[in-house]
């Protein structure tokens, strides 16, 4: 056997860069297809965005964040340092193209097209995620109890009716709730909510970090190799065996490379000539392990832009959107502000042992993930940019990536998620 043949045997079918929920889902799907897989991550056991999400399988979130009038609201929020949106002005020059593209997404036709693309993913989520949960042993902490969006005022509820009716068109099942029904459903809520919307298909998991651990362990048991290192660039000069190149100079070759490094993915795409508008929408939360109240399902507080989820590890109160880049230190005053909202609307909640957290949501301006082949190198497949829906869309993304890896025609049209949309 020649040396070249020996080396080729060491090349995995797939190299997945990133071991968050999306990267692991891609690895799981590829392994189940019979591919050999190598996972590369800077710290497999370390904290990541997948650990600190609110735990929601948010299949009803099928409209983009950019809506008509959002710019005016955003400007108002920016003057509240602990409001739902914050921008570090030092980050503005690099973020400006993102925000300009974000504003364009509120165009009526563009808004509709984005919503149809989000619904196309979300409407198949359970078909993909339930088999994955069953395989990794996560069904014991998978709660299909729906969720509630609650409103304090008639005006806010009325303002959202057009969007709710549009979501119904997109396949979202929901029904309105009266003040009395809200109280009966979740008696721990403060008695200030005049209207509610019950989201029938929403669900949540009990512990996002445990889910990642279960999936990582299953991927390992299926035969994946694990390489610790920070990938600085891709080398696609050898189209048969492109390489992920680490900061230490190590080359990890695979016949295909999947980029699933969340908010850090833009630099890897750029290393082979692909432009993407991607920013870290930094989210904060506080988890209360000894909360002392009863809450059965995730609650979304419409006017205040935060959520509360009853996890197995405590009630998690999260939200906020902070644009400050990948390197700025966390501002845990935002976690404190969310906790104060939690105390206000969940009276009697106990904050003893509260744990604060910040994570980097990988956000595109159009709220659509990037899923598909690189136009510059067909051996590179992208799987990032899921924003608030990384957990929700993880298994579906993995299934679509597996289709591409196996040269199957994906079950849905991937054009709306192509990185090519950022060329102009």
The residue with tokens 């362990």 is 217
Query: 281-320, pLDDT tens digit by residue?
Result: 999 999 999 999 999 999 999 999 999 999 999 999 999 8
Tens-place pLDDT, residues 255-264: 999 999 999 9
Question: Does one domain contain both 239 and 100?
Answer: no
Residues 271, 401 share a domain: yes
The pLDDT value given to residue 296: 97
Same domain, 327 and 224: no
Could you say which of 363, 381, 401 is where a domain stops?
A: 363
What is the predicted pLDDT for the residue at 365?
95
Tokens 């190299």 correspond to 15
Q: Are 299 and 307 in contact (CB under 8 A)?
A: yes
pLDDT in tens, 72-97: 566 566 656 667 778 888 898 999 99
If one counts the domains in the chain, the total is 2
Question: Tokens 């209360």 identify what position?
Answer: 288
Average pLDDT score over residue span 233-239: 94
The closest of 328, 262, 381 to 19, measured between CA atoms, is 262
Please give the pLDDT value at position 71.
Answer: 54
What pLDDT score does 11 carry? 93
Nearest Cα to Cα of residue 255 among 83, 404, 41, 45: 404
pLDDT of residue 320: 82
- Mean pLDDT calculated for residue range 365-371: 97
- What rounded mean pLDDT belongs to the chain? 93
Question: Pick from 21, 14, 18: which is nearest to 214 by CA?
Answer: 21
In this structure, is residue 390 part of a structural domain?
Answer: yes
Final residue of a structural domain among 363, 384, 413? 363
Given a contact cutoff of 8 angstroms between Cβ atoms, the answer to whether 374 and 396 are in contact is no
- Among the residue ranges 66-70, 264-268, 297-301, 413-417, the one predicted with the least confidence is 66-70
Residues 326 and 336 in one domain: yes
**Do residues 353 and 380 share a domain?**
no
**CA 325 from chain center: how many Å?**
17
For residue 201, pLDDT beyond 70: yes
Instruction: Give the model's pLDDT for residue 4.
Output: 34
SS (H, E, C) the chain: CCHHHHHHHCCEEEEEECCCHHHHHHHHHHHHCCCCEEEEECCCCCCCHHHCCCCEECCCCCCCCCCCCHHHHHHHHHCCCCCCEEECHHHHHHHHHHHHHHHHCCCHHHHHHHHHHHHHHHCCHHHHHHHHHHHHCCHHHEECCCEEEEECCHHHHHHCHHHHHHHHHCCCCEEEECHHHHHHHCCCCCCCCCEEEEECCCEEECCHHHHHHHHHHHHHHCCCEEEECCEEEEECCCCCCCEEEECCCCEEEEEEEEECCHHHHHHHHHCCCCCCCCEEEEEEEEEECCCCCCCCCEEEECCCCEEEEEECCEEEEEEEEEECCCCCCCCCHHHHHHHHHHHHHCCCCCCCCCEEEEEEEEECCCCCCEEEECCCCCCEEEEECCHHHHHHHHHHHHHHHHHHHCCCCCCCCCHHHCHHHHCC
Parallel, antiparallel, or unpaired: how do β-strands 251-259 and 12-17 relate?
parallel
Q: Please check whether residue 160 is in contact with residue 69, taking contact to mean a CB–CB distance below 8 angstroms.
A: no
Judge whether 324 lies within some domain: yes
Indicate whether 199 pLDDT > 50: yes
- Give me the percent of the chain exceeding a pLDDT of 70: 94
Residues 258 and 381 placed together within one structural domain of the fold: yes
- Which CATH number is 263's domain given? 3.50.50.60
Is residue 7 over pLDDT 60? no
* Domain housing 100: 74-104+279-295+305-363
The reply to whether 17 falls in a domain is: yes
Residue 8 has pLDDT above 60, yes or no: no
Any domain includes 182: no
Asked whether residue 85 is assigned to any structural domain, the reply reads yes
Q: What pLDDT score was predicted for residue 70?
A: 56
- For residue 113, being part of any structural domain is answered with no
- The answer to whether position 265 is within a domain reads yes
Backbone φ, ψ for residue 13 (5° rounding): -60, -40
CB-based contact 138:201 (threshold 8 Å): no
- pLDDT, residue 298, reads 98
Within-domain flag for 221? yes
Among 340, 363, 386, residue at a domain's last position: 363
Q: Are 386 and 280 contacting, i.e. CB atoms less than 8 angstroms apart?
A: no
On whether both 315 and 286 belong to a single domain, the answer is yes
If pLDDT is split at 50, 70 and 90, which confidence band does 420 have? very high
Do both 40 and 13 map to the same domain?
yes
Distance, CA of 88 to CA of 95 (rounded, Å)? 10
State whether 410 and 352 are in the same domain: no
Per-residue pLDDT reduced to its tens digit, 332-360: 999 999 999 999 999 999 999 999 999 99
Same domain, 265 and 290: no
d(CA 196, CA 210): 31
Indicate if 283 and 353 belong to the same structural domain. yes
pLDDT tens digits for range 134-157: 999 999 999 999 999 999 999 999
Share of the chain above pLDDT 90, in %: 85
Do 411 and 343 share a domain, yes or no? Answer: no
């Amino acid at each position: 056997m020649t040396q070249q043949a020996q080396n080729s045997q060491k090349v995995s079918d797939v190299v997945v860069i990133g071991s968050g929920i999306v990267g692991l889902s891609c690895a799981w799907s590829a392994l189940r297809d019979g591919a050999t897989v190598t996972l590369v991550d800077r710290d497999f056991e370390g904290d990541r965005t997948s650990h600190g999400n609110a735990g929601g399988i948010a299949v009803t979130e099928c409209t983009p964040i950019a809506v008509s009038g959002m710019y005016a609201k955003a400007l108002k929020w920016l003057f509240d340092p602990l409001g739902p949106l914050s921008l570090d002005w030092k980050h503005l020059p690099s973020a400006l193209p993102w925000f300009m593209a974000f504003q364009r997404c509120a165009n009526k036709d563009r808004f509709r097209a984005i919503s149809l693309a989000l619904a196309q993913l979300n409407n198949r989520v359970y078909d993909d995620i339930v088999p994955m949960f069953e395989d990794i042993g996560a069904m014991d902490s998978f709660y299909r109890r729906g969720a509630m969006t609650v409103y304090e005022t008639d005006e806010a509820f009325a303002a959202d009716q057009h969007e709710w009716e549009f979501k119904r068109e997109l396949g979202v099942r929901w029904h309105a709730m009266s003040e009395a029904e809200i109280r009966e459903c979740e008696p721990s809520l403060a008695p200030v909510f005049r209207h509610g919307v019950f989201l029938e298909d929403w669900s949540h998991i009990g512990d996002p970090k445990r889910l990642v651990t279960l999936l990582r362990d299953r991927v390992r048991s299926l035969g994946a190799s694990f390489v610790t290192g920070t990938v600085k660039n891709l080398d696609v000069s050898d189209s048969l065996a492109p390489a992920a190149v680490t900061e230490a100079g190590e080359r990890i070759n695979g016949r295909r490379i999947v980029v699933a490094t969340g908010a850090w993915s833009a630099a890897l795409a750029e290393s082979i000539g692909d432009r993407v508008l991607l920013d870290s929408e930094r989210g904060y939360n506080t988890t209360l392990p000894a909360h002392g109240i009863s809450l059965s399902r995730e609650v979304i507080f419409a006017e205040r832009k935060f959520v509360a989820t009853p996890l197995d590890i405590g009630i998690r109160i999260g939200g906020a959107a902070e644009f400050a880049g990948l390197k700025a230190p966390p501002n845990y005053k935002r976690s404190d502000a969310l906790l104060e909202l939690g105390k206000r609307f969940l009276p009697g909640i106990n904050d003893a042992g509260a744990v604060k957290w910040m994570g980097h949501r990988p956000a595109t301006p159009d709220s659509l993930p990037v899923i598909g082949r690189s136009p510059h190198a067909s051996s590179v497949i992208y799987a990032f940019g899921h924003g608030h829906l990384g957990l929700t869309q993880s298994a579906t993304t993995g299934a679509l990536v597996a289709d591409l890896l196996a040269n199957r025609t994906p079950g849905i049209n991937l054009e709306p998620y192509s990185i090519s949309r950022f060329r102009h």
